[in-house]
Amino acid sequence: MWIKDRYMWIAFVLPGLLLLILVLGFPAITSILYSVKAEQAGTYTLAHYNYLLKDPFFMTTFWNTAIFVFASVATHMILGLAVAMVLNSAIPARPLFRLIALLPWVVPDVVAGIIWKWMFNPIYGAVNDVLLKVGLINTSVEWLSNPKLAMFSVILVNLWRGFPFVMLILLAGLQAIPPHLYEAASIDGASKPQMFFHITIPGLRKMIVVALALDTVWEVRRFGLIQAMTQGGPGILTEVLSTYTYKQYFQFFRFEYASSVAVVMTIVLLLVSLPYIWMISQEE
């Protein structure tokens, strides 16, 4: 054997490591360097970060992102768990319903955004049409133009778009819970809520943490849906960090500032992921 066994792990790790450095490391380092690049070639500055702290649009965008992510993840967890439990029970045509439940996840972000923008259209949109016909509203609602409804509408669509991902993870978790636990609890006279809180939730704990962490990361990065539906408007009511970064980079050509926003976004994501990493390490 030309490689000694004790060094064999290097041969296995090296290709993956090189790929990671190339695909993730290089862009990340380039972004960090861009974020501290001064106008004068070869010099570096923290001015972009300083400006970021004073930029009122950035601060609003930051809070918009927090609201969007919190609401999206929370609703994904509730709906995802509910649908997962239904699809885990003995319902007729279960494979078909599982497939249907997954469909929103298959639709690309931008396509979903465009479709829902048309569905919310105050003149032609199906949403108003249905609500008017069933008598829930008297006049057409401006879902994406009303300042009180714009963020709600985007979150609503994101609920539809994103819950299957959480559902899929939780469904896998539910299937891993041994059925005899429920049988034993039932013999002991446990009620359905008691079984839910004392068997299902503890059994899903690890999966819930995984779903929470991954969904949070996905939602912070969510771009196509919002860009296609509102482009951050009206005003900046639905502007989030991903659309703001895109705008700074590709519309305003402020590469350095866009990179500083992206770096902050990454730091926030890392902080969000820390509890997940900690919990996983505890499990191990």
Partner 1 sequence: MRKLLTIAICAVALLVLCSFTAATAAQVTLRFSDWHLTEDVWNKSLNEAMAVFHKQHPNIKVVLEPVSYKEKETKYTVESEAGRAPDVFHVHAFSLPMFFGKGYAKDLTPFIKKEGPGFLDAWYPLPNKLMEYNGKMHAMPGDYMTMVLFYNTEMFKAAGLDPNKPPKTWKEFLSYAKKLTRDTDGDGKVDQWGFGTVGAKSPGFSMRFGPFLWSFGADYLTPDMKKSALDSRKAREAFTFFVELYTKYKVVPPGLTAMNPQEVRTQFAQKKVAMILGSGWTPPIVNKINPDLNAFEVLKCAPAPMKTKPATAIWLSSWVMSPNTKHPQEAWELMKFITSKDSELKWFVDNRVTSARKDVSGVAPEILNDKFASVMASQLPYGMVEPQIKQWPEIMDTFTTSVQEAIVGMKTPQKALAEADERINAILAR
* In the complex, minimum distance from the CB of residue 123 to partner 1, in angstroms, rounded to a whole number: 6
127 DSSP β-pair partners: none
Q: Is 43 in the site for partner 1 (CB under 8 A)?
A: no
Contact between 73 and 163 under an 8 Å Cβ cutoff? The reply is no
Cα–Cα distance between 243 and 25 in angstroms, integer? 23
The reply to whether 26 sits near partner 1 by the rule CB under 8 A is no
Listed ranges 10-18, 73-81, 184-192, 244-252: which one lies at the site for partner 1 (CB under 8 A): 244-252
**Does 45 contact partner 1 by CB under 8 A?**
no
Position 234 contacts partner 1 (CB under 8 A): yes
Of the candidates 144, 171, 213, 263, which one interacts with partner 1 according to CB under 8 A?
144
Burial of 87 (0-12, 13-18, 19+ CB in 10 A): buried
Site string for partner 1, 94-123 (x = CB under 8 A): -----------------------x--xxxx
Q: How far apart are CA 26 and CA 18, in angstroms?
A: 11
3-state DSSP call for residue 37?
Answer: strand
CA distance linking residue 88 with residue 100, whole number of Å: 14
User: Rounded to whole angstroms, how far apart are CA atoms 181 and 198?
Assistant: 10
User: Binding residue for partner 1 (CB under 8 A) from 145, 172, 182, 269?
Assistant: 145
Our finding on whether 231 is near partner 1 (CB under 8 A) is yes
Min. distance of Cβ 110 from partner 1 in angstroms? 10
Q: How far is the CB of 247 from partner 1 (least distance, A)?
A: 7
* 273 contacts partner 1 (rule: CB under 8 A): no
The answer to whether 209 and 280 have CB atoms below 8 angstroms apart is yes
Size of the site for partner 1 (CB under 8 A): 29
Asked whether the beta carbons of 234 and 147 are under 8 A apart, the reply is: yes
Q: Which residues bind partner 1 (CB under 8 A)?
A: 51, 117, 120-124, 139-140, 142, 144-147, 229-236, 247, 249-254
